[in-house]
Structure 1
C-alpha cells in the first residue's frame, strides 16, 4: 500500500467533514476542524510505531480487531472520556455533570481540569515510565541490537528487570514529590496529589499487566500464537484491550496534559474563538476521529510490511519517546513545558531511529560497485 493510498481515507474524511462543517457551522468551524485534523494526523504518525510493535505480538483474530476497531475506539474513549472522569474523581462530582461541563462550559471545565492536573501528570508519568522500562530493562528478555550502545546493552541485561522497573518508577515519584514539596513549602495540597497520582499510576500499570498475564493463561513472554483458540478465544481480546488502554493513555497524556490542547473543546486553535461550546466540541470530536482512523491505518500498514523488523531501531525510538514523555510529565510539575517541545520531540526521536535503521552502508557499497562497473565498461 503506497503512502498515497494510506492517506486516502483520512484525507477524504477530512475534506468531507470540513465541507459539512462549512455548510452547517460556517467557515470558522471548517478551518478549525482542518487545523485540528492535520495536527491529529501528524501526532498519530508517532503513535503508530509502538502500536505496530504490539500488533505484531497478537494472535491473528485479536490483531484484526486491534488494528481496526480497537485502536479507534481506544483512542476516542481515552481522549474524550478520561478528562471528564479525572475531573469527576478529583472534585468528587457526578461524571455526567463533568461531561456536560466539558461540552457546555469549556472554560469552567478547563479550570477544574487544571486543578487535578498535578495528580494526572504524576499518574501518567509513573505509568508511562513503566511501559518504557519494559524496553529499557528488556523485561521480555528478547534478543536485540542496542541502539544507544554499551549502556543500553548493560541495562538490557540487568538481573530482575521488573524490580528495576518498579524501583526506578518509585524513585521518579519520590524525587518529583520532594522537589515539588521544596518548591511549595511542603504544602499538603501540592505534595499529596503527586504522591497519590504516582502510586495510582504504578498500581494501574501492575493491574494492567496482571490482567494481560491472566488473559495469556499465565504464559511468560509475548508469543501469543498458541492462545485465543477454542473456548478461551475471548481472552486474547482482553489482552488486546490492555494494550489499547496503555497506548490510549499515552496519546491522552501527550495531547491533554503537556500542551494543554483541547479536551472536548477546540480552545487554543485559531478559528475556534467565534464558535459556541457545542460547535467546538463537535469540531474536536470529529478531528480526533480522523486522527484515530489514520492511526489505525498507518499501524496496519507497518504491521503488514513488517516495518519494525526491517527497520530494527524504530521500536527503540518509539520506546525512548515514551521515556522522554514520562520525564517531561514529571518536569511539567515544576516547570512549564513549551508546546514546541511537546510537538516535536517525538518526531525527532523517531526520525533519528529511522535514519539509523536505514542500510546506508549497503546502499553505499552498491553505489560504489555500480560506479566501478560503469568505469570499467567505459575503459573497455
Structure 2
C-alpha cells in the first residue's frame, strides 16, 4: 500500500526508544541497588541491561526489515495495531511471559510459582530455561528457515543480489514443496548428530515449527481468498499481523535464551530486551514511512540471508555453543554489505542516467 514518504527526523522516530532506554536503565540501576545495596552491584545491573539492549538490537536488524516489508502492504489501521498491540505482545509476551511459560511447562508448576522461582531461585530458573534450549532452537530455527527459503524460492522474484544463488532458487521454485523438502533434509541431518531422546525432541520440535509456519501461511491464504466478503480493515492485514507476531516470537527465542548467559535475573532480562524491542519498533516505522526498502534494493535480500544464517546457527547451537555476539554481528554484517551493494547500485544507475542524458550511451 503506497503512502506519502515521511519527513520525520531520525530523532522523531527514536524519541520514545530513547525515553524507554532512560527509564529502563534507571529501573535496572534501582533493581541493582535494591538487590545488592552497593554501588558496584547497581552499576553491574545497569551495565547488563545496556548490553542486553544492544544484543537485542544487533539480533533484530533483520527482524525490523522483514517487518517493514510486510507492513508496507497493510492498511494504516493494521499498521497501527501491529506497532501498538504488536509491540506490547513482543515486549511483555515474548520477553516476560514466554520464559515463564517455558518454566511452567518444563517444571510442571503454576505461573505464580514460576515467578516466585525466578525471584527467589534464579539459578534454578536459568537451569530450566537452558535445558529447554534444544526444542526452542529446533522450533525457531525451522520456522525462520522456512521464512527465508520462501522469500528466495519465488518464481516472481526478479531482483537478485547474489545472482548465482538466487537465480537458481527462483528457477526451481516451481517445484512444489521444495522448501519443505530442503528443511526436512536438514532436520534429518542434524537429528542424526544427536543421540537418543535429544534426537527425538529435535525432530518433533522442528516438525512443530514447520507446521506452525504452514498454519500461519494457511491463515493468510484463507484471508486473502475471502477478501471479497471481508471489510477493508480485515483485508488490510489480519493474516499479516499473525504472521509478524509468530515471526517476532521466532526471532526472540535466540535473544531470550542467550540473555541467560549474562544474567539469571528474569526482570533484568525483561528490562534489557524490552529496551531493544522498542528500537526494533522505531526502526520498523522508519523503514516503512521513509520507504527505505524501495531506495535500497538489496537491503531486503541481506535481511533474509541473515534470517537463513540465524536459522542454521540455531540448529548448530543444539550441538555446540555459539556466542550470541557472533550471531548478532553476522546478521548485522550481511545487512551492512547489502546496504553497501545497494548504494553502489544507486551510484551506478545515476551515472548511467547522466551518460544517457549526455548522449554517451
TM-score bracket for this pair, using the shorter chain length? 0.7 to 0.9
Question: Residue 46 of structure 2: which of 26, 30, 37 is its match?
Answer: 30
Distance 1:167 1:218, change over 3 A: farther
CA RMSD after TM alignment? 2.9
| 1:118 to partner: Cα distance | 1.4
SS at match of 1:154: helix
Q: What SS is found at the alignment partner of 2:220?
A: helix
Partners in 2 of 1:329 and 1:40 — Cα distance? 16
Deviation at 1:96?
A: 4.2
Correspondence for 1:151: 165
Q: Which moved more, 1:124-133 or 1:98-107?
A: 98-107
Report Cα offsets for 1:329-351 as digits up to 9, x if no partner. 11112222133311201100100
Deviates more, 1:52-61 or 1:299-308: 52-61
Contact 1:59 1:228 in 2 (8 A): no
Which deviates further from its counterpart, 338-347 or 8-17?
8-17
1:163-222 superposed Cα distances (whole Å, 9 cap, x missing partner): 0111111111111111213xxxxx2x2211111111111111112222222233357xxx
- Report deviation, 1:87: 3.4
Q: How many residues align?
A: 339
In structure 1, what is the equivalent of residue 220 of structure 2? 212
Counterparts of residues 37-116 of structure 1 (less than 5 Å): 37-116=53-132
Matched, 1:238 2:238: yes
- Cα drift, residue 74 of structure 1: 2.7
Q: Which residue of 1 aligns with 2:179?
A: 165
Q: Is the 1:71–1:295 contact (alpha carbons within 8 Å) kept by the matching residues of 2?
A: no
Give SS of 2:259's match.
coil
Match of 2:231 among 223, 229, 232: 229
Q: Could you say if the C-alpha distance between residues 6 and 61 of structure 1 is closer, same or farther in structure 2, counting changes exceeding 3 Å? A: closer
Q: 1:160 to 1:24 in 2, by over 3 A?
A: closer
Match of 1:191 among 176, 196, 199: 199
1:223 alignment counterpart: none
TM-score, normalised to structure 1, is 0.79
Contact 2:103 2:128 in 1 (8 A): yes
Specify the alignment match of 1:18 in structure 2: 25
How far has the Cα of 1:48 moved from its partner?
1.2
Taking the aligned partners of 2:218 and 2:355, their CA distance within structure 1 comes to 53
Contact 1:74–1:244 (CA under 8 A) maintained in structure 2: no
Matched, 1:177 2:191: yes
User: For the Cα contact (< 8 Å) 1:173–1:198, is it kept in 2?
Assistant: yes
Normalising by the residue count of structure 2, what TM-score does the alignment of the two structures yield? 0.83
Segments of 5+ residues of structure 1 without an aligned counterpart are: 182-186, 220-225, 270-276, 370-380
Shift of 1:4: 3.2
Distance 1:228 1:242, change over 3 A: same
Question: Structure 1 stretch 347-356 or stretch 103-112: which is displaced more?
Answer: 103-112
Structure 2 residues without counterparts, runs of 5 or longer = 1-7, 34-41, 357-361
Q: Quick one: distance in 2 between partners of 1:81 and 1:215?
A: 29
- Residues of 2 paired with 1:337 and 1:39: CA distance? 14
User: Could you say which residue in structure 2 is the equivalent of 1:202?
Assistant: 210
- Aligned to 2:194, what secondary structure does the other structure show? helix
